[in-house]
């Protein structure tokens, strides 16, 4: 698989008057990669996505997609992209079928892959015949997914794509992402669902207050974050100290530590203790996210 860059963002900055949207944001997305884009509300994710789509003009910096500057080539770039906005809505008085026909006409395509998508997400003729305003949130979200994928885009920009989907449909969506990745498509996935990002993404970019604070492989981020070690001893041990571990709580023979970094020496020390029980789970993406946010705030 090619490792050429599909998206290149260089020192991208957007101000709304004196209010900062994003500042000096730099990252890239390679062909066939699914990149997670994380941050709380107001962090700058939506601003970044709108800049990528040419819906906003940057204050400074640049964005190129498929090797082309977005500002001067946005229409051509968008033809090759699929986009699902957060809180997806559509023309509520159209039927689902009419909306998909309109989407295809606007793109000037014959959506040859639409039938397979409708079957995968169990969108029946009865669903499509109803006006969008009468559809459930989950069914509307499925329509949004279909219109984002039905032209087999080379790049997908997805904002909270599984919002409103039941667990079975979420799994179907993840399978669809993998199918497109195998075809060589690239995906920028913005989500608050950290378990979702961990399941499908190779790398994550974490943004805070409009600035990038981390861009790494998930495994590398996990190695940098704290892990919780809980130990129950069989009998008291005087002045219990564990290397690379910070004691944060003790009650009788129950100890809780924060651990960061290499654990080989720590595990050797544990083996010498009269341990009745212990837990030392692998960090998940929630731990990574909170570690980075705690380190970048004064709280």
**Per-residue confidence of the chain (299 residues) as pLDDT tens digits?**
446 899 999 999 999 999 999 999 999 999 999 999 988 888 899 999 999 999 999 999 999 999 999 989 989 999 999 999 988 888 999 999 999 999 999 999 888 889 999 999 999 999 999 999 999 999 999 999 999 999 999 999 999 999 999 999 999 999 999 999 999 999 999 988 778 888 899 899 999 889 999 898 987 877 777 788 999 999 999 888 888 888 999 999 999 998 877 788 888 889 999 999 999 887 666 777 776 666 555 44
Positive/negative CA dihedral, 193, 195, 200, 203: positive
The pLDDT value given to residue 137 = 93
Residue 75, token pair as written in the block: 């229409």
The pLDDT value given to residue 103 = 94
Q: Tell me the whole-structure pTM to 2 decimals.
A: 0.81
Q: Are 1 and 43 in contact (CB under 8 A)?
A: no
The pLDDT value given to residue 218 = 82
Residue 55, token pair as written in the block: 């819906």
The pLDDT value given to residue 1 = 44
Helix count (H) and strand count (E) of the chain? Answer: 11, 14
Distance CA 256, CA 223 (A): 19
For residue 131, what are the CA distances in angstroms to 76, 93, 134, 137? 31, 6, 6, 13
Q: Are 159 and 197 in contact (CB under 8 A)?
A: no
Distance CA 275, CA 213 (A): 39
């Amino acid at each position: 698989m090619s490792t050429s860059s599909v998206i290149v963002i260089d020192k991208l900055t957007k101000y709304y008057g004196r209010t900062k949207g994003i500042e000096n944001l730099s990252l890239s997305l390679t062909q066939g990669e699914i990149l997670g884009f994380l941050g709380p509300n107001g962090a700058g994710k939506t601003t970044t996505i709108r800049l990528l789509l040419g819906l906003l003009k940057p204050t400074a910096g640049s964005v190129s997609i498929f090797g082309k500057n977005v500002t001067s080539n946005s229409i051509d770039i968008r033809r090759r992209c699929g986009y699902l906005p957060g809180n997806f809505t559509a023309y509520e008085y159209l039927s689902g079928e009419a909306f998909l026909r309109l989407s295809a006409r606007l793109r000037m395509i014959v959506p040859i892959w639409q039938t397979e998508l409708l079957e995968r997400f169990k969108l029946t003729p009865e669903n499509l015949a109803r006006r969008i305003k009468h559809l459930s949130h989950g069914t509307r979200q499925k329509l949004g997914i279909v219109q984002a994928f039905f032209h087999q885009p080379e790049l997908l920009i997805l904002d909270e794509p599984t919002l409103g989907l039941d667990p079975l449909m979420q799994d179907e969506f993840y399978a669809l992402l993998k199918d497109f990745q195998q075809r060589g498509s690239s995906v920028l996935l913005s989500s608050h669902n950290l378990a979702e990002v961990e399941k499908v993404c190779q790398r994550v970019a974490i943004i805070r207050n409009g600035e990038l604070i981390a861009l790494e492989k998930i495994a590398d981020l996990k190695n940098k974050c704290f892990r919780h070690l809980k130990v129950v001893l069989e009998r008291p041990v005087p002045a219990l100290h564990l290397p690379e571990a910070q004691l944060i709580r003790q009650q009788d023979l129950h100890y809780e530590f924060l651990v960061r970094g290499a654990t080989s020496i720590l595990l050797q020390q544990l083996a010498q203790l009269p341990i009745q029980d212990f837990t030392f789970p692998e960090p998940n993406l929630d731990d990574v996210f909170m570690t980075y946010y705690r380190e970048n705030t004064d709280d």
